[in-house]
Amino acid sequence: QVQLVESGGGLVQPGGSLRLSCAASGFTFSTYAMSWYRQAPGKERESVAHIGAFGKFTNYADSVKGRFTISRDPAKTTAYLQMNSLKPEDTAVYLCRAAAPGPAYYWGKGTLVTVSS
């Protein structure tokens, strides 16, 4: 069974931190690039962070650069998103995506992050 399961979302105050996890199973994790997307109410889904299959190449949306860090652990087949200095505008459902070369891809169901005082 192919699965991507996000966890770690919740309610946090502005300026706080959260770490999201994306646990992968049922496919060859090491050959897939991993990404985090988010979708806020009334807005289109946007790319937040990306990490290549070898775990060296990363890129981030300008809105989160310097605050968020994406990483992956091959031994645990898990990708992470460390989020620091959170702002109310970071409130969204965060989704994990795994993609291989070509058309193959998988999506998780998402985890809700709410940044509010």
- Report the largest interatomic distance among the alpha carbons of the chain, rounded to a whole angstrom: 43
The pLDDT value recorded for residue 101 is: 79
CA separation, residue 25 to residues 37, 74, 79 (Å): 19, 11, 12
Contact 113, 94 (CB under 8 A): yes
CA separation, residue 62 to residues 33, 49, 68, 94, 98 (Å): 20, 10, 10, 17, 21
Q: Examine the pLDDT at 103 and tell me if it is beyond 90.
A: no
d(CA 93, CA 103): 24
Quick: pLDDT tens for 6-22: 999 999 999 999 999 99
Kindly state the tokens that stand for 38: 């988010």
* Beta-bridge partners for 110: none
Confidence of residue 62 (pLDDT cuts 50, 70, 90): very high
The pLDDT value recorded for residue 61 is: 98
Average pLDDT, the chain: 96
d(CA 80, CA 6): 9
Q: Examine the pLDDT at 56 and tell me if it is beyond 90.
A: no
Kindly state the tokens that stand for 87: 């702002």
